């Protein structure tokens, strides 16, 4: 009797629709896969939140005028996020270093950001500040200025500064723009050279510089007067020519405030435009002189 029942059971199994068998197998496989994924998800969820692998301490180092609290806030804004809404950014193994640095860089004065993991629970943020070197001002609004560093990079807005502490740059037909550069780095280096050498060699102090698209620079001196130079010319030669003019018998009276401009853009031909005050009115005399070597 028992044998007959077994035979009938085997016969029923053999007679089951193949599609039904496949469906059952797929269902069992899907259930097993779903269960595995569920357990894996739980493992990831809890495993990426264990305390000894969670970044909770952040040290901020560097800077003088930038608030460390602001840097800390920018860092925590990123660390509150998640990968695929599951893995927290605070998980030590996969914390978003580049995203943290990018978010901190939004603080205008910050430069050279470095993010270091010093332990599974501790981060260190190290940064420098941009050092103000000069001002880049709007030619149509002298009070609208940005601070630039020695490379010419504009990093933050400047307050309405008085006096001549910072040299002011003006770019003709181009307005100042933060994160832009006032000019090519080599141009800024050349202007910096002129500023230093005019002061050290000729006791002339620069207060502002206008740059045009043709490569000319118009250097305004403290006290008045303008020097016109082309930035592609030999700058040592230009300084030498200017010294010869200022030490000559015809022009040794020239000093800031009693001339309009000295144009040094045409080799040994120097154009001097003097302003002579006569009673109430004023007249202008222009002189061309050639330096003979």
Residues 92/121, Cβ–Cβ less than 8 Å: yes
Percent of the chain with pLDDT over 90: 58
Reported as a pLDDT band with limits 50, 70 and 90, residue 25 is low
Angle CA(56)–CA(60)–CA(61) in degrees, nearest 5? 150
Range 163-171 average pLDDT: 91
What pLDDT, on a 0 to 100 scale, did the predictor assign at position 281?
35
pLDDT, tens only, 76-88: 999 999 888 888 9
pLDDT, tens only, 176-232: 999 999 999 999 999 999 999 999 999 999 999 999 989 999 999 999 999 999 999
Supply 127's token pair. 């940064």
Bridge partners, 57 (sequence order) = 122
Percent of the chain with pLDDT over 70: 78
Q: In 3D, which of 170, 109, 165 has the Cα closest to residue 145?
A: 170
Alpha carbon distance 49, 88 (integer Å) = 8
pLDDT of 175 above 60:
yes
pLDDT, tens only, 228-246: 999 999 999 999 999 999 9
Q: Are strands 134-138 and 141-148 parallel, antiparallel or unpaired?
A: antiparallel
Q: In 3D, which of 65, 66, 77, 126 has the Cα closest to residue 103?
A: 77
What pLDDT, on a 0 to 100 scale, did the predictor assign at position 162?
82
Helix (H, G, I), strand (E, B) or coil at 245: helix
Gyration radius from the chain CA atoms: 37
Alpha carbon distance 281, 277 (integer Å) = 7
Helix (H, G, I), strand (E, B) or coil at 192: helix
pLDDT of 102 above 50:
yes
CATH topology for 51-129 is Ubiquitin-like (UB roll) (3.10.20)
Mean pLDDT value across the chain: 84
**What's this model's pTM, rounded to 2 decimal places?**
0.74
User: Which H/E stretch holds residue 289?
Assistant: strand 281-290
């Amino acid at each position: 009797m028992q044998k007959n029942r077994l035979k009938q059971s085997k016969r029923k199994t053999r007679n089951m629709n193949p599609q039904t068998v496949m469906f059952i197998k797929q269902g069992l496989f899907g259930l097993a896969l779903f269960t595995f994924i569920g357990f894996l998800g739980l493992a990831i969820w809890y495993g990426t939140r264990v305390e000894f692998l969670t970044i909770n301490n952040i040290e901020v180092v560097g800077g003088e005028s930038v608030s460390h609290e602001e840097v800390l806030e920018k860092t925590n804004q990123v660390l509150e996020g998640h990968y695929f809404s599951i893995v927290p950014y605070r998980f030590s193994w996969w914390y978003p270093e580049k995203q943290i640095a990018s978010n901190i860089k939004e603080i205008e004065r910050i430069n050279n950001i470095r993010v270091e993991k010093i332990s599974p629970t501790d981060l260190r943020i190290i940064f420098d500040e941009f050092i103000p070197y000069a001002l880049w001002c709007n030619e149509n609004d002298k009070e609208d200025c940005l601070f630039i560093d020695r490379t010419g990079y504009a990093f933050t807005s400047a307050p309405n500064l008085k006096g001549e502490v910072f040299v002011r740059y003006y770019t003709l037909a181009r307005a100042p723009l933060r994160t832009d550069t006032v000019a090519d780095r080599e141009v800024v280096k050349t202007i910096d050279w002129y500023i230093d050498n005019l002061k050290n060699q000729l006791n002339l102090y620069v207060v502002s510089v206008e740059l045009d698209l043709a490569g000319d620079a118009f250097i305004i001196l403290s006290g008045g007067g303008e020097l016109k130079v082309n930035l592609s010319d030999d700058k040592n030669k230009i300084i030498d020519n200017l010294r010869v003019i200022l030490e000559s018998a015809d022009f040794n009276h020239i000093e800031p405030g009693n001339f309009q401009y000295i144009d040094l853009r045409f080799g040994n031909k120097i154009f001097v435009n003097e302003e002579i005050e006569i009673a109430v009115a004023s007249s202008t005399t222009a002189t061309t002189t050639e330096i003979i070597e």
